[in-house]
Amino acid sequence: MSDRIFGVFGILLAIGYVFAAFAIEESFLSDAVGPKAFPLIIATVLGLSGAAIALRPDPEPAWPALGRLAEIAAAAVVMILYAELLPVIGFVIATAFAAAYLAWRLGSSLLEAAAVGIGTSVGIYTIFHLVLGLSLARGPLGF
């Protein structure tokens, strides 16, 4: 069933892609092929392979339980927050929290998670910023 849904999603993606391709405004100076032809070829392949997947599905993949899915969603949210907050609170603090969160969710005790967070953050800061001179996000505290 999963593969059928996936295949249909592929077909829909191909259709959306075709519409977006037709929406491309052609410039008056164009080559013989134009900017639309290649995307249309790709959309055809995408649609056909989507149809093939939907018609001949593989065995069901092993989906994780709902709790595990929530785990992944939560990790993605933390990473998004990390990306957004990085320029605001600075590299060292943001990284320490994000790494500690991941370590905690992978089964570290709180103390170990904190150690991993701080260790990762300070370690990366030392190697990449102090030694290699990469400019990392600066927070209000200057690091």
Partner 1 sequence: MDLFASLGDGFAVALTWQNLALALLGCFLGTVMGALPGLGPSNGVAILIPLAFTMGLGPTPALILLTSVYYGAMYGGRISSILLNIPGDEPAMMTCLDGHPMARKGMAGEALALSGIASFVGAFFATWGLALLAPQLVKIALLFGPAEYFALFALAFMTLGGVSSTNQAKAAFAAALGLGLATIGVDTQTGVPRFTFGEVHLYDGLDFLVAIVGLFALSEVFIFLEHRHGGSDAAGKKMEIGRLTPPMSMLKACTPTMLRTSVLGFIAGVLPGAGASLGSFISYTMEKRLVDKEGTFGTGDPRGVAAPEAGNNAAAGGALVPMLALGVPGSGTTAVLLAVLLALNITPGPLLFTQNPDVVWGLIAALFIANFMLLALNIPMVGLFTRLLLIPSRVLMPIVAMVSFVGIYGISGSSFDLLVMIGFGVMGWVLRKFDVPLVPIILGTLLGNSMENNLRRAVTIDNGNWWTLVDSPLALTLWGIAIVGFILPLFFGARVKAGMRARRDEEGSISD
Applying CB under 8 A, does 93 fall inside the site for partner 1? Answer: no
Give whichever of 121 and 143 is closer to partner 1, judged by the CB atom.
121
Q: Cα(93)–Cα(108) distance, rounded to whole angstroms?
A: 19
The binder of partner 1 chosen from 25, 66, 111, 142 (CB under 8 A): 25
Give whichever of 105 and 139 is closer to partner 1, judged by the CB atom.
105
Applying CB under 8 A, does 71 fall inside the site for partner 1? Answer: yes
Q: What is the DSSP track for 47-76?
A: HHHHHHHHHSPPSPP-PPPHHHHHHHHHHH
Residue 125 neighbours by CB distance under 10 Å: 19
The site for partner 1, by CB under 8 A, has a size of 73
Cβ contacts of residue 131 below 8 Å, gap of 6+? none
Angle at 113 between CA 108 and CA 119, to 5 degrees: 135
Considering only residues 97-126, where is the footprint of partner 1 by CB under 8 A?
98-100, 102-103, 105-108, 112, 116-117, 120-121, 123-124
> What is the closest distance, in whole angstroms, from the C-beta atom of residue 110 to partner 1 in the complex?
12
Applying CB under 8 A, does 21 fall inside the site for partner 1? Answer: yes
